[in-house]
Amino acid sequence: MAQAPAIAVAGLGRDYGRVRAVDAVDLDVQPGEFFGFLGPNGAGKTTTIRMLCTLLQPSRGEARVAGGDVVENALDVRRKIGVVFQETTLDLDLTAEENLRFCTRLYGLSRRDSKARIDEALQLFGLEERRHARVRSFSGGMRRALDLARGILHRPSILFLDEPTLGLDPGQRRRIWAFLQKLTREHGTTLFLTTHYLEEADPCDRVAIVDHGRIVALGEPAELKRRLGHDRVDVRTDRAEEFVPRLRELTGLEPQRAQHGLSIFVDDASAILPSLLPLTADGAEVGVTRPTLEDVFVDLTGREVSL
Amino acid sequence: MIGAIEAVVVRELTRFARQRGRAVASFARPLLWLVVIGAGFEKLVPTEGTVSYKQFLLPGLYGMVVLFSTMLTALATVHDREFGPIRMLLVAPLPRFVTVFAKTISSALIGVIQAIVLFPLIWILGLHPSVGALAELLGAILLGSFALGSFGMVIASRLRSIENFAGIMNFLMFPMFFLSSALYPASLLPGFLQPLVRADPLTYTIDLMRHPLLRGLYPGNLGTDYTVSFDVLVLVLFSVVLLALASLLFGEEEHLGRILLVEPPRPRGSRRLPRLPRRAPALPVGDAAPSD
């Protein structure tokens, strides 16, 4: 761990007038790490990513990205990072190739390098056949793939992705995720991404959960789930009233109402499952759900909301 | 950096070539003015020299083409900002000045191309400029386009959405046109309008174009207002100042940030719940958590 962090952020914050979009964010991302930044809409994810990409000046704190300060050395930082935004940045009136060429030229690549990289990128994303087609005719998934190709064309050491799979179908989402994982594994690219598809954050090395412009949790997905520390036992029934006293009796815990019937929370579901067997005989269905990242998320941000 | 400027110019020209409607509209408008206004005014305005009113009007129409085309191209930046492509430029390792300069030179070139298409009118209206005078005319169009393009960039940097375009056209572009020397020598306008006439880059652009076209003729009451060197000096000054201002305004992250901010900042204490892709069935886990 002697390596300098790819992203080092201390007390980073940003206000819009009197509104605090980002309060104070502290985090370090290691080179080659796959880092997820999660939070509800309006939590400050996009504002944070924009500050890290040198698009927004922080109101306070500091951030070093790829070794450079985002305010002092903005141009150096921009040279080393790639950014894929929530919405497409492609020019719909240009063809796939023209869009990519525009981009390579902006990064000062020579014509020859530019051609080689464009060929490679189009091949990688299976867009060779659409090379000379205008982007306007592309589907959402193809546009997103091309956008991603654009983001890595200049071989950035850090790639920022703001909701990279928003609006894509599951197949396209899987392909993009597979590609991103390959990118970190094979090229050692650091990935910093925001998403609110929480199940997608599972392959991240670490995730930070933000709410109200602050990090409320930071760690490996498995560790965060462990921290939540409970399994959920669901009792599916349409006669919930009847089962409340029986569940209370059998487990000594207070059942919670849920859409499907009742739920109880325990540290280890396997310990109490046998005692719930009699319920199944009366027509209830019993199931166990291990905590997901989503539960962690709702637990953390939900508590914040109810304060 | 040259590569980047070239890339922006190529992109803008490609877009221009693909948007036929835009080009057609930009030719149709001045032709309409020439035929209708030109014919009407020619009857009304007594000429004292050897210059007909239509000949006098021609540089004004080139001015109109250049004004509309540069403003349109510059304002397309607002569209870019709303729909994305400008972000490629903003995250590229280029100083803001280069981005703004590249955009401005593109809009100037498009202005020049559109004016050149209307060059045959010179001979149709019975003018016979020398090759040198034609080169001078081209230079005037380029310089004027650049000054107007940088003015357009200043406006574009302050606009939030392209929806304001009608307002810009009615309250900025048409007044600029009428306050310039397009339809009449600028000196004919009353004194209280003179400060506006002099603040209008189009005045000098048209005056500078009129010099080579009317050279050798006796203009009488339909002449030029300033000397060539004065026009050039003013237009260069306009370009430098407006370009610097546009770079400053585009570089102002505060402003850009507001426009680029997709997430509206949430006021603290609002109780909006996180929007989550729910796995069926939904559970009120937040309320049921055994903590606290």
Q: Would B124 be classed as within a structural domain?
A: yes
Percentage above 70 pLDDT, chain B? 82
Q: Would B292 be classed as within a structural domain?
A: no
**CB B89 to CB A106 under 8 A?**
yes
For all residues of chain A together, what is the average pLDDT? 84
**CB B10 to CB A102 under 8 A?**
yes
Q: Would B280 be classed as within a structural domain?
A: no
**CB A302 to CB B273 under 8 A?**
yes
Instruction: Kindly report which listed range (A37-51, A61-75, B14-28, B175-189) carries the lowest average pLDDT score.
Output: B14-28
Instruction: Tell me what the mean pLDDT of segment B109-122 comes to.
Output: 92
* Residue B180 Cα, gap to closest chain A Cα (Å): 35
Instruction: Tell me what the mean pLDDT of segment A59-77 comes to.
Output: 91
Whether the pLDDT of residue A13 is over 70: the answer is yes
Instruction: Tally the C-alpha atoms within 13 A of residue A123's C-alpha that lie toward its C-beta.
Output: 6
Q: Would B278 be classed as within a structural domain?
A: no
Q: What is the pLDDT of residue B83?
A: 64
Q: Would B271 be classed as within a structural domain?
A: no
Whether the pLDDT of residue B109 is over 90: the answer is yes
Q: What is the pLDDT of residue A302?
A: 63
**CB A259 to CB B92 under 8 A?**
no
Give the residue on A whose Cα is nearest the Cα of B18: A93
Q: For residue A9, name the pLDDT band (cuts at 50, 70, 90).
A: very high
Q: Would B268 be classed as within a structural domain?
A: no
For all residues of chain B together, what is the average pLDDT? 80
pLDDT in tens, B27-79: 788 888 888 888 888 888 777 777 888 889 999 999 999 998 888 888 887 77
Q: Would B230 be classed as within a structural domain?
A: yes
Residue B112 corresponds to which tokens in the numbers above?
């020049």
Domain count, chain B: 1
Q: Domain range spanning residue B251?
A: 2-259
pTM above 0.80, yes or no: no
Whether the pLDDT of residue B21 is over 80: the answer is no
Instruction: Kindly report which listed range (A64-73, A84-93, B61-70) carries the lowest average pLDDT score.
Output: A84-93
Q: What is the pLDDT of residue A303?
A: 45
Q: Does B48 touch chain A (CB under 8 A)?
A: no
* Residue A307 Cα, gap to closest chain B Cα (Å): 9
Q: What is the pLDDT of residue A158?
A: 94
Q: Would B286 be classed as within a structural domain?
A: no
pLDDT in tens, B230-275: 999 999 999 999 999 988 887 654 444 444 443 333 344 444 444 4
